[in-house]
Amino acid sequence: MALHRNLRRLLSSPRASSGTAVRVLLLLLVASALTLTFGRNHGLLQFRRRAPRRHHLLLSTPDDKSEPFRLVTIDNGNITDVKFVPLEHRREEQAWLFNTHIVRHPDPHRSDEYFVAQEVDDGQILRLKLVDDHDEIIDRPNRPRLEVVQAEFTKGASPAYALVTRDRKALLCAHYMSPRVSALQVEPLKRLSTLELPIPRHVESHPHQVVQHPRLANRFYVPDLGANKVHEIVLGEAGLAYRGSVDVDPSCVGPRHAVFDSKSDTFLLACQTSSSLLAIPVTKDGALSPSLAPAVSTLTDQILSSESQSQRADHYAVSAILLVPDQDLLFVANRQMNPLMTRTIPSPSSARPLPRDQSDTST
């Protein structure tokens, strides 16, 4: 109050110039802004302490053609509600939908929008918006629904995975049923280029994921479950280009998912069919090293001793991998296994030779 009285006296003084008035007005605006900001932050912190933490998780159920999406409500870590979410304007077309991967829009102001890979022959990326009756993000689900904002063909068969680049400008997808990787512009959704991987005709190719280098923004890696390779590609102004590939050891079959350990510059590769984990060193320029650490099994000793290789491949194939960098731990999910297996990150120091395709062919 004393500050306001002094300012009023200053403004009413006959010696006060117009410049003085402007400076005082700016000072008042800044002071008010600081007061409002502090007040809002203080109220927000109080609210967060009193109210439970609620999150919403959008899930795809590709095998359920009638109800392909679920909205899961999580309160304080507990699932409290699961609801079917209809896809508006597409009910007559839901028979061909096969939603396999969902990624949230990178813009925090569009957190109610998602990119969904459609793993069908004529592959598409759908941009969907989650809305309620008031056409805004829902805090507590009532009658949520999904609307199609955009749809873009990827020029490949069965896009199985989508990755938004760290600069939030591009989306890359791998195609499980064709040796192709596509790059799409995020805003607006638009295909930029499609790269044909140099796979011999007699070799099956099932690219399954795209992993971005943690420091080299234009370098990406694509595990190929069918060809038993890891492809290296780059994204530039001219689109996607091929840099080479590494052949995975024959004893480690079906590279499916991977993560990048930036602490040790190691590419950690999960192989589906052999239920194993490979550690591939990466050079400073982002190339996969032609050496490889011995494979680490993701199965328990009991399973390894009681079942054959074919039985393990059928029942316990690797399905996902997650890295926790702060604790140097990997979480590896195998089908029909509970709980998840945790492993320390394997060291690539005991490397052995690995064939490498040095081709730098660009397409």
pLDDT digit string, tens, across residues 232-253:
999 998 899 999 998 887 777 8
- What is d(CA 354, CA 244) in angstroms, rounded to the nearest whole number? 14
- pLDDT bin (cut points 50, 70, 90) of residue 330 is confident
Residue 231 has pLDDT above 80, yes or no: yes
H or E stretch at 158? none
Mean of per-residue pLDDT scores for the chain: 75
- pLDDT bin (cut points 50, 70, 90) of residue 293 is low
The residue ranking higher by pLDDT, 330 or 100, is 100
Residue 258 lies in a domain: yes
- pLDDT bin (cut points 50, 70, 90) of residue 358 is very low
Residue 12 lies in a domain: no
Please state whether the predicted TM-score (pTM) of the whole model is above 0.85.
no
Q: How many residues does the chain have?
A: 363
Joined tokens for residue 98: 């096969």
Residues 6+ apart with CB under 8 A from 332: 270, 277, 298, 318, 320, 321, 322, 340, 341, 342, 343
Q: Determine the pLDDT at residue 211.
A: 96
Q: How many domains does the chain have?
A: 1
Residue 334 lies in a domain: yes
Residues 6+ apart with CB under 8 A from 143: 132, 133
Residue 43 lies in a domain: no
Q: Determine the pLDDT at residue 327.
A: 63
Q: For 91-98, what is the mean pLDDT?
A: 59
Residue 301 lies in a domain: yes
What strands, in cross-sheet order, belong to the sheet with 219-224? 211-212, 219-224, 229-236, 239-247, 356-357
- What is d(CA 87, CA 72) in angstroms, rounded to the nearest whole number? 16
Q: Determine the pLDDT at residue 133.
A: 57
Joined tokens for residue 22: 């402007």
User: Above pLDDT 70, what percent of the chain?
Assistant: 69
Residue 2 has pLDDT above 50, yes or no: no
The residue ranking higher by pLDDT, 47 or 258, is 258
- pLDDT bin (cut points 50, 70, 90) of residue 175 is very high
Q: Determine the pLDDT at residue 77.
A: 74
Residue 206 lies in a domain: no
CB 298 within 8 A of CB 342: no
Residue 332 has pLDDT above 50, yes or no: yes
CB 257 within 8 A of CB 209: yes
pLDDT in tens, 35-61: 333 333 322 222 333 445 677 788 887
**343 lies in which domain range?**
252-354
CB 221 within 8 A of CB 234: no
Residue 83 lies in a domain: no
Residue 18 lies in a domain: no
